[in-house]
Each structure stands twice: as C-alpha cells, then as structure tokens.
C-alpha cells in the first residue's frame, strides 16, 4: 500500500510514524520544513485543558481577551462561523467525550513511552500551573474543572504574586523543536517531498491519501468548517521568576522553562494572514514572569479549529482527514495519528461524532 500524507506538521508526522510501524510505504508532502507551523506551540501536553468553543462562556472569554489585547479577530472561515452559531451551547454525545478521554490517555502515554526509549526532547512530567490574577476567576476555573468530562486530577494552590493557581499533576511537557528532530530520526526511510500540493489529482498514483494539512485542508474540502487561530512562540534566554510550567490565564500566555532556553507562547488571533506584527505582545505580557536577555527565534503557527474544538478525523473513499483540535494539536497528535492509521488500514470505519464533517 502506498500512502500520501499532505502536511508535515505534528499530526502528519505521527500518522507517518504509525503507518511506518505497520510497514506501509509513506510519502509526506510538505510545502515548508517539517513541523514549521507546529513548533511555535508551547509543548504543553495538556489534553485535559479542553476548551469547548461553541459556548456562550467561550465567546465571553474571547471578548475579555480581546479587550485585554490578548486576541484579535480579523477573519474566520464562513462555514466554521455558520456551524458554531448553529450549534451554540449544544453538547456532543457522551460517546464523543469517551473517545476524547481515550485519546487523552493514549497521547499522554505515547510521549512518556517515547521519552523512556530516549529522552532527547526534554520530556518532563512535572505538571502544569494554571495561574489567575483574581480570586473570582480562580473559583470559576475550579468549578469548571469539577464539571470537566475528563475528570482530571487538580488542586488549588497558592502562587506568589497571584490570586492562586490550579495545579494539574498529570500533565507533561516537551520541547517541540527537539521533538520534531526526534520524529525526523524516527521517520528515516519515509519519503519527504518539499511540495505544496494544490489538488488531489496530483496524488492519483497513491492508494490512500491523508489530509493532515491543518487549516489548509479547506483547500481540498472547501466546505470543511475549520478556521485559523494564529499563535506565536518564542525561544528565549533569560531568568524566569518561577521555574515551573505555567499558563497565565488572563493573558493566554504559556511559559515553559527548560535547561537551555525558555519557551514563551501566546496569541489566539482569528487571522489567517502571515502578518506577525502582534507577536511582540506575547513578550510584553510575559515580561513580569521572565527577565529576557536574548531572543533565539520566533515562530508563528495557525491552529486549525473546528466549531466546537474537537478534532476532525474521518474517511471518505480513499481520503482520510485529520485536522481540528485547535490549540491542543500537540496534546492529541499521537492519538490522532493512531486513529488516522486505523482508518487508512480499514481497522476503523469512522469515529462517530468526530467524523461527522468528513463527507465530500
């Protein structure tokens, strides 16, 4: 079997990883470098911090972010907006949450097992602090976690300089840059073609096609309700005030200190342009946490968001789609790659609710 994977981001790489293990002949088509639009992420493996986008609470949260300058709305996919409004405050079936819980467990375990084989990507399972500026928002956050379909372990903790934090002891983190290097080594023997595929007709010589092309999947499936939320990630040298992985909830900023650099990420802009002028805001908002002395690099990425934040994974004919998951692409990527592999090989027919948009 010959399989073409369009997209060399983290989901495409994990799909290739699992297909290779099955002895499948895989070719990855990527228009830039492998992982180019994925490495901006913080590398927080946090599948339990799921945001259900099609809710009034999330819209209010986005408006608050907008007032604080943490987000900016420039454009959205019209099919995405239509589906979001049509399904506003609707809850998915329990089977969907069951699948998501299984995906969360699989992904957390996958990173841990790969690190046990060889920890060349700075894997750390030291949990995550969700930090709040005021007590009222902290209490609301705690109430939301109590209602979470994932039933995560968490605790309220003191955090100097803030109202407090929610600590998630089960969550882990990695260096996205180093993990992409690890995947390059894992995928030796997989053919990688530096090409921007324009239409599926270019892939007629392949038995199966996987579209793991993030927001650009809409180039092939025009009515797919996926929109871009742009984010920015910096690798910097400096001194962190707290040597802990944390998320500044009020500003949407994630900070992950490693031995050789600090990763700072932020931004949740509804914007599909390549304009990176707002990236500086991420550094400005993190300045009270990190004393930055040098900037190694800045990367930008486009989170592919479905109307409700769930992944979109399904198969139609010989084409399998794997996108969505919004800001949790890294958190669910191992499971998305595994389920995509099972669909390609015919072990799965569909994933129910998560496959509902793959009809073309």
Percent of the chain with pLDDT over 90: 95
Strand ranges inside 109-163, DSSP E = 128-132, 155-157
CA distance 335 to 102: 8
CATH code of the domain covering residue 187: 3.40.50.720
Rounded CA-CA distance 231/302 in Å is 6
Percent helix, strand, coil in the chain (nearest 5)?
A: 35, 25, 40
Residue 189's pLDDT is: 92
Better-predicted residue by pLDDT, 61 or 247? 247
Q: Above 90 in pLDDT, residue 67? A: no
Residue 6: its pLDDT value, please?
A: 98
Task: Map residue 262 onto helix, strand or coil.
Answer: strand
> In which band, very low, low, confident or very high, does the pLDDT at 70 lie, cut at 50, 70 and 90?
confident
Mean pLDDT of 290-315: 97
The whole-chain average pLDDT of the chain stands at 96
pLDDT tens, 130-176? 999 999 999 999 999 999 999 999 999 999 999 999 999 999 999 99
What per-residue confidence (pLDDT) applies to 92?
Answer: 96
pLDDT higher than 90, residue 66: no
Query: Is 90 exceeded by the pLDDT of residue 264?
Result: yes
Cβ-based neighbours of 136, under 8 Å, separated by 6 or more: none
Distance, CA of 80 to CA of 151 (rounded, Å)? 29
Residues 82/83/88/90 CA torsion (nearest 10 deg): 160
pLDDT of residue 64: 84
Q: Is residue 360 part of a domain?
A: no
- Total domains in the chain come to 1
- pLDDT of 61 > 90? The answer is no
* Domain ranges, residue 22: 2-355
Strands (E), 137-226: 155-157, 164-168, 172-173, 191-194, 208-211
pLDDT band at 38 (very low <50, low <70, confident <90, very high): very high
**pLDDT the model gives residue 32:** 96
The answer to the question of residue 295 being in a domain is yes
Q: Is residue 197 part of a domain?
A: yes
Provide the pLDDT for residue 360. Answer: 78
- Residues with Cβ within 8 Å of 135's Cβ and at least 6 positions away in sequence, in order, are 163, 164
Identify any residues that bridge with 313 across adjacent strands, giving them in sequence order: 322
Give the side-chain half-sphere CA count within 13 A for 299.
21
Q: Is 97 a domain residue?
A: yes
- According to DSSP, the residues that pair with 44 across neighbouring strands are 173
Phi first, then psi: give them for residue 18, nearest 5 degrees. Answer: -75, -35
Render pLDDT for 168-219 as a digit per residue (tens, 0 to 9): 999 999 999 999 999 999 999 999 999 999 999 999 999 999 999 999 999 9
């Amino acid at each position: 079997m010959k399989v073409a994977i369009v997209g060399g981001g983290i989901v495409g790489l994990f799909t290739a990883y699992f297909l290779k293990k099955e002895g499948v002949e895989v070719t990855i088509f990527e228009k830039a470098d492998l992982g180019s639009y994925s490495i901006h992420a913080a590398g927080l493996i946090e599948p339990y911090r799921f945001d259900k986008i099609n809710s009034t609470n999330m819209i209010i949260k986005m408006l608050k972010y907008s007032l604080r300058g943490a987000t900016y709305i420039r454009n959205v996919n019209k099919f995405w907006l239509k589906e979001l409004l049509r399904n506003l405050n609707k809850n998915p079936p329990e089977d969907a949450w069951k699948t998501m819980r299984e995906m969360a467990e699989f992904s957390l375990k996958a990173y841990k097992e790969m690190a046990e084989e060889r920890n060349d990507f700075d894997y750390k399972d030291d949990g995550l602090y969700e930090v709040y500026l005021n007590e009222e928002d902290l209490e609301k956050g705690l109430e939301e976690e109590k209602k979470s379909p994932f039933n995560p372990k968490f605790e309220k903790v003191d955090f100097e300089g803030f109202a407090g934090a929610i600590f998630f002891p089960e969550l882990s983190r990695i260096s996205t840059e180093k993990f992409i290097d690890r995947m390059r080594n894992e995928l030796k023997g997989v053919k990688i073609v530096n090409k921007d595929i324009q239409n599926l007709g270019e892939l007629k010589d392949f038995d199966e096609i996987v579209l793991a092309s993030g927001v650009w999947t809409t180039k092939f499936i025009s009515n797919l309700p996926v929109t871009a939320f742009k984010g920015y990630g910096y690798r910097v040298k400096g001194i962190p005030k707290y040597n802990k992985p944390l998320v500044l909830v009020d500003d949407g900023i994630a900070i992950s200190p490693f031995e050789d650099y600090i990763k700072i990420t932020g931004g949740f802009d509804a914007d599909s342009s390549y304009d990176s002028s707002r990236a500086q805001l991420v550094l400005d908002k993190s300045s009270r946490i990190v004393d930055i002395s040098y900037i190694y690099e800045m990367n930008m990425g486009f989170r592919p968001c479905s109307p409700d934040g769930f992944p979109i994974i399904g198969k139609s004919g010989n084409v399998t789609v794997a996108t969505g998951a919004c800001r949790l692409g890294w958190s669910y990527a191992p499971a998305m790659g595994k389920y995509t592999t099972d669909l390609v090989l015919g072990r799965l027919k569909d994933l129910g609710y998560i496959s509902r948009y793959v009809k073309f």
